[in-house]
Amino acid sequence: MPIACGFRLEVFAVPGVPLLRSGDDLPTVVLGALAGQHVELRDGDVVVLASKAVSRAEGRFVDLTTVVPSARAEEVGREIGKDPRVVHLVLSEASAVSRKARDVLVVRHRLGFVVANAAIDLSNARPVDAPETSGPWALLLPVDPDASAERIRALLAKETGAGVGVVITDSFGRPFRLGTVGVAIGVAGLPALWDKRGEPDLFERRLEHTETALADQVAAAADLVAGQAAEGRALVIVRGLSFDVGTHGVGELLRPPNQDLYA
Amino acid sequence: MPIACGFRLEVFAVPGVPLLRSGDDLPTVVLGALAGQHVELRDGDVVVLASKAVSRAEGRFVDLTTVVPSARAEEVGREIGKDPRVVHLVLSEASAVSRKARDVLVVRHRLGFVVANAAIDLSNARPVDAPETSGPWALLLPVDPDASAERIRALLAKETGAGVGVVITDSFGRPFRLGTVGVAIGVAGLPALWDKRGEPDLFERRLEHTETALADQVAAAADLVAGQAAEGRALVIVRGLSFDVGTHGVGELLRPPNQDLYA
């Protein structure tokens, strides 16, 4: 795969993405924010968007007071000491439970990610126009992040002529290590996984273990400038990578459960 | 913690770090490479160095033909179909075995990281001056990466006056997701973990889940430009973060085994 990286990357936030409302057209919003900041996209730019913005545009809000927990959710909620309404949403989003512990429910999300609490967000989750007295609110992951990324990529390509990649990101915790890191949950245009196997090393041996999680590293780099509370930094550009724009998706990054020693 | 990030990061490789030999003084090498490329360090720069360069300077080479596997290594090697000499080295570097599978041995490294094959490198692992006919060679992780990072940080501070962070990185695989990502294995000067809990969100709620693995994300960003085969990119600068230089180490990022659902 003819991918290469220059010696210099720029990672910069593009302000001007407002708190989105259900029904906002995300590709148009992104295009408008770029124009508003006079950012001219270049071939090879990666446009990185926080999943929360995508979820808001898709109206993935749930008022917890409207949730009637299932019997299973009540049971799990009692077992781990967690709000059964949240447990209900987590289980609704999950294809399997991975681990349970006090206030923690790690699941395999229907999209394939293994993540705590199905990546449901309980902060900054209120719709812009919801009454102060409503909620508390939860915000679910986007319905199909690869498709959302592709819609954005296609409009940007059409309107600007630039061959860009698009990565939709969230912040996930991890086994073994503390702290969240940015990860890709939707990918269009760039390889999510960069396969370097077969390239010779300095001594002409074939390299081992050289599939790089390109889209996840892009997400982590973007997270350094995006922050987490700052919805004004929902949009970040990573400039300086070089890749062939093609059809890809986040599925490249998902380890099949039957090949996962920690499933 | 008064840490903040600007809206723009630069991530650039600094060429000029040669293939190191056992006994090379790493801080001097880094200082020389920066001077050779006329890079003037600024307060808040993070100097990122590939663990392989540190290991080479520390002479962490092992000629596999000199390894006499233990009985346990022979047994595990047979069980998983892996060279018993490599298994012997992995077990020697480990405090515990986490998972075994065909050709894979995931261990808790004596430094605390859970990682496949104790992060022992079998490519680009030959000492510069070793005869062609020697080996195959293995390269172990540095002895004390936090201490190595601190030695580099201290010399850079003394010689340049800049308050910088130093991160020593490797590329690790992960549960659940394919592809390697850059991770911190040694940290000096910057917070490895950035604790944002307690900061208000947009709606003045307290944020949840907002400890960011700052040093790991720096490592991932650097890995985007460092590549893996390219030892000429062992040194990368991440510019544009803002943090208080202080005493930290990679231990901040290590989840205690008794709090790890996947240990």
Q: What percent of chain B has pLDDT over 90?
A: 79
pLDDT at A228: 43
> For A202, which residue in chain B has the nearest alpha carbon?
B124
Say which of A179, A241, A254 has its CB closest to residue B178.
Answer: A254
Q: How far apart are the first and last CA of chain A?
A: 30
Distance in Å, alpha carbon of B71 to nearest chain A alpha carbon: 25
Say which of B8, B179, B223 has its CB closest to residue A253.
Answer: B179
Could you give phi then psi for residue B19, rounded to 5 degrees?
-65, 115
Half-sphere exposure of A63 (CA within 13 A, CB side): 10
The dihedral through the CA atoms of B253, B257, B261, B263 has a sign that is positive
Candidate from B59-73, B146-160, B191-205 with smallest mean pLDDT: B191-205
pLDDT band, very low/low/confident/very high, at A3 (cuts 50, 70, 90): very low
pLDDT at A208: 53
Spell out where chain B has E strands: 4-13, 46-50, 61-63, 94-101, 104-109, 114-116, 137-139, 165-172, 181-188, 194-195, 211-212, 235-242
Distance in Å, alpha carbon of A12 to nearest chain B alpha carbon: 4
Rounded average pLDDT over A127-155: 95
pLDDT band, very low/low/confident/very high, at B244 (cuts 50, 70, 90): confident
- The answer to whether ipTM exceeds 0.85 is yes
pLDDT at A132: 87
Q: Say yes or no to pLDDT of A79 above 90.
A: yes
Say which of A11, A179, A201 has its CB closest to residue B253.
Answer: A179
pLDDT band, very low/low/confident/very high, at B187 (cuts 50, 70, 90): very high
Q: Say yes or no to pLDDT of B116 above 60.
A: yes
> For B182, which residue in chain A has the nearest alpha carbon?
A217
H-helix or E-strand containing B32? helix B26-36
The pLDDT tens digits of the residues spanning B69-80 come to 999 999 999 999
Binary contact (A224, B210; C-beta < 8 A): no
pLDDT band, very low/low/confident/very high, at A197 (cuts 50, 70, 90): low
Residue with tokens 């019997």: A71
In this prediction the pTM is 0.93
- Return the DSSP state at A102: T
In a mutagenesis test of the B interface, which of A9, A103, A218, A231 is the best target, namely the one with the most B β-carbons within 10 Å? A9
Say which of B124, B171, B221 has its CB closest to residue A224.
Answer: B221
Which chain B residues have a beta carbon less than 8 Å from that of A15?
Answer: 7
Distance in Å, alpha carbon of A211 to nearest chain B alpha carbon: 5
The pLDDT tens digits of the residues spanning A181-193 come to 999 999 999 999 9
pLDDT at A206: 46
DSSP string over B58-123: TT-EEEGGG----HHHHHHHHHHT--HHHHHHHHHHEEEEEEEETTEEEEEETTS-EEEGGG-B-S
Distance in Å, alpha carbon of B151 to nearest chain A alpha carbon: 25
